[in-house]
A and B are shown apart, each in its own frame.
Chain A
Amino acid sequence: MEYDYIIRNIVLVFHYFFLVFTVLIVGSYVILAVFSSRETIEYLKKNSFVNYKDLLTSDVAPSISIIAPAYNESLNIVENVRSLLSTHYVNYDVIIVNDGSKDDSLEKLIKAYDLERIEYLINQRVPTQPLRAGVFKSKNPAFEKLIVVDKENGGKADALNCGINISESRYLACIDVDCLLLEDSLQRMVKPFLEYTDRKVIASGGVIRIANSCKIEDGKLLEVNYPDKWLERCQILEYLRSFLLGRMAWARLNGLLVISGAFGLFDREIAIKVGGYDTKTVGEDMEIIVRMRRYMEEEKLPYKVAYIPDPLCWTEAPDNRKIFISQRNRWTRGTIEVLKIHKKIRWNPNYGVLGMLSYPYWMIFERYGPIVEVLGMIYFIFLIIYQPLSWSFILGLFLLVYLFSLLFSFVAIFTEEFTYHQYKRKGIGFKLILTVFLEPFILHPLVLYAAMRGNYDYYFNKKKKWGVMVRKGLSKS
Chain B
Amino acid sequence: MQFTLFEAVIWSLVIVLAIIIVILIFYLKILRRNIRVKEKNNIKYREKIEKLLIEYIYAEEEGELLSKKQKTIIKQFKKGLVSKRKRIIITETFLQLDQQVAGHMIEQMNSLYKKIGLLNYAIKKLRSKQWHIVAIGIKDLRHFKVKRVRNSISKLINHHREEVRREAHLYFIELFGFEGLNFLDNLKVPLSEWDQILLLGEVENFEYDETLDLKKWLESNNDYVVLFVLNIVKLFNRLETKDTLIDLLQHKNAEIRIKTIDIITHFEILEAKEFIIQRFSEISDKEKVAFFKYLEKVAEIEDAMFLIEHLNNNNFEIKHRALKILKRVDVNLYNKLEKNSEDAEYNRIIDYLDVSYGV
Contact = CB atoms under 8 A, between A and B. Distances in A.
A417 B28 contact: yes
Given A54-B201, A60-B231, A399-B14, A429 B196 contact: no
A58 B197 contact: yes
A424 B10 CA distance: 37
A222 interface: no
Interface string A192-214: 01111110000000000000000
Contacts, number: 109
Contacts of A392: 7, 11
A262 interface: no
Given A58-B201, A123-B316, A396 B356 contact: no
Interface string B12-52: 01100110110011001101100110010000000000000
B118 to A, nearest CB: 16
B340 interface: no
Interface residues of A, number: 47
Interface in A47-75: 48-49, 54-55, 57-62
A58 B200 CA distance: 8
B190 interface: yes
Q: Which 5 A-B pairs have the closest CB atoms?
A: A197-B190, A194-B193, A403-B17, A396-B10, A194-B194
A432 B20 contact: no
Interface in B184-204: 190-194, 196-198, 200-201
A404 B17 CA distance: 7
B200 A59 contact: yes
Nearest to A396: B10
Contact of A194 (B11, B20, B197): B197
A433 B136 contact: no
A31 interface: no
Interface stretch (B270-278, B301-309, B327-335, B347-355): B347-355
A55 B296 CA distance: 29
Contact of B7 (A196, A390, A424, A433): A390
A410 B21 contact: yes
A410 B28 CA distance: 9
Nearest to B2: A12
B135 interface: yes
Contacts of B355: 119
Nearest to B31: A417
A380 to B, nearest CB: 14
21 contacts: A46-B163, A48-B132, A48-B136, A49-B136, A58-B197, A58-B200, A58-B201, A59-B200, A60-B231, A119-B356, A191-B194, A195-B162, A197-B191, A198-B190, A392-B7, A393-B10, A404-B17, A407-B17, A407-B24, A410-B21, A432-B28
B317 interface: yes
Contact of B132 (A45, A193, A397, A403): A45
A62 B14 contact: no
Interface string A106-126: 000000000000010101110
Nearest to B27: A414
B320 interface: yes
A198 B31 CA distance: 40
B235 interface: yes
Interface string B213-245: 000000000001000000100010000000000
B197 A60 contact: yes
Contacts of A55: 197
B251 interface: no
Interface in A384-428: 390, 392-393, 396-397, 399-400, 403-404, 406-407, 410, 413-414, 417, 421, 424, 426, 428
Contact of B14 (A49, A194, A400): A400
Interface in A356-390: 390
Interface in B135-182: 135-136, 139, 162-163
B289 to A, nearest CB: 11
Given A119-B355, A390-B3, A392-B7, A195 B36 contact: no
A407 B20 contact: yes
A396 B163 contact: no
Contacts of A49: 132, 135-136, 139
Given A54-B197, A55-B197, A197-B192, A396 B7 contact: yes
Given A59-B200, A406-B17, A413-B28, 15 more contacts: A45-B132, A46-B132, A49-B136, A191-B194, A193-B193, A195-B162, A196-B192, A197-B190, A197-B224, A393-B6, A397-B10, A399-B14, A403-B18, A414-B31, A429-B32
Nearest to B349: A121
A210 B49 CA distance: 36
A417 B192 CA distance: 33
A368 B139 CA distance: 50
A58 B198 CA distance: 8
Contacts of A424: 35-36, 39
B322 to A, nearest CB: 14
Contacts of B32: 417, 428-429
A121 B352 contact: yes
Contacts of A393: 3, 6-7, 10
Which of A121, A400, A426 neighbours the largest number of chain B CB atoms within 10 Å of its CB? A121
B21 A403 contact: yes
Contacts of A390: 3, 7
B277 to A, nearest CB: 24
A49 B132 CA distance: 9
A369 B201 CA distance: 51
B320 A396 contact: no
A397 B13 CA distance: 10
A432 B28 CA distance: 10
Contacts of A124: 316, 345
Contacts of B197: 54-55, 58, 60-61, 194
Contact of B21 (A121, A193, A406, A428): A406
B132 A59 contact: no
A407 B17 CA distance: 8
Contacts of B352: 119, 121
Contacts of B348: 121
A59 B235 contact: yes
Contacts of A406: 17, 21
A392 B316 CA distance: 72
